[in-house]
Amino acid sequence: MKYIFFLLSASLLLASCTEDFFSQTVKIDPPEYDKQLSFHLLLDQKDSAIRIVVSRNYGILESPESFDDWFVKGATAELYENGQKWLTFTPLSVDSSFVLTAVLTHPLQPGSTYEIRAAHPDFPAVRAVQIMPADFQIDSARVKYNAVPGEFGDRIDLAEVFFQDQPGVKNYYEVKLFKLFYETRYDPQTGEMDTLGVVENAVYVDGYNDPNVQAGFYNGGLISDQFFDGQTYKFQARFDSQSYGTADSSIVVRVRHVTEDYFKWSRSYEANYEVDENPLVEPVSIYHNLENGLGIFSVSNRKDIEIH
């Protein structure tokens, strides 16, 4: 009887395995969403000219007809300092009116409040407010070449930077490494190489010696002062300088005192990137602080140390 039952079950299964069995049409209503402006504006006190690229969002089941449909032409934007209008953005060109530019008349000031406002007739007005972080002190920075073992048994380099934290307030920092290269051009008439300028290449970090450091946007190491409030902090990052050209080119250690909003955005941006590389991981939403919009506005206090 067991064999008869098995044969009967198999026959029923094969009989049901028709084309209609494997395909089914399901009608779903797309989730509602609000049309919003989107852009990023990341500023520090070393900036002299700034720009934003204004785009928009689309529904999950919508598809723009062309790549240009992502961008929003004809938007306006203004930057306020301590409640007073400071700068008015202007379009880059007639053809690139979705790119808005402005020239800063003076550097951003620690403790000052900055607000970005953007508008377009077809979208809700957007705004975000940030307070410029306080100045801070870097005691020293250095690079130790071939100082620590790498992942594959080779020797790699160690960057160290010591900076002083301001006590009594929540502080957030970002540390990045860059390697400097000279951009050159060959002159066939003279047979010489002309130096056009210096180019910064971001350095990929193999790891950090502090487990509290989190990976952030564009190879940045993020750290809050919850474990060293008011103390001197030693930041250490492992990297391989030989992967970025000759060992005699300079390393730039860039430390930025950032806002909490930037800290959250940078951390979520990197986490979302890691999810895209691994489809088995639960999706991560990217943090944003634009009211009625999507994107990030931040200001930071920045210090660069060049190590030869």
- Model confidence pLDDT, tens digit, residues 7-19: 334 443 444 455 5
Q: Report d(CA 277, CA 286) in Å as an integer.
A: 15
Give 89-135 pLDDT, tens digit per residue: 999 999 999 999 999 999 999 999 999 999 999 999 999 999 999 99
Q: Report d(CA 10, CA 110) in Å as an integer.
A: 76
Token code pair at residue 113? 């409040």
- Which candidate, 45, 49, 75, 30, places its Cα nearest to that of 293? 75
Q: Tell me the CATH number for domain 37-131.
A: 2.60.40
- Which candidate, 32, 37, 45, places its Cα nearest to that of 290? 37
Token code pair at residue 295? 């994107």
pLDDT of residue 125: 98
- Which candidate, 259, 303, 301, 296, places its Cα nearest to that of 109? 301
How many CB atoms are closer than 10 A to CB 109? 14
Token code pair at residue 206? 């193999």
Q: What Rg, from alpha-carbon coordinates, does the chain have?
A: 26
Residue type, 234: K
Q: Across the beta sheet with 76-81, what order do the strands follow? A: 84-88, 76-81, 113-120, 123-131
Give 71-93 pLDDT, tens digit per residue: 999 999 999 999 999 999 999 99
Residue 60, SS3 per DSSP:
coil
Token code pair at residue 200? 């910064």
Q: Any idea where the domains of the chain sit in the sequence?
A: 37-131, 137-285+302-307
Report the predicted TM-score, pTM, of the whole model to 2 decimal places.
0.84
pLDDT of residue 59: 83
Q: Report d(CA 97, CA 76) in Å as an integer.
A: 10
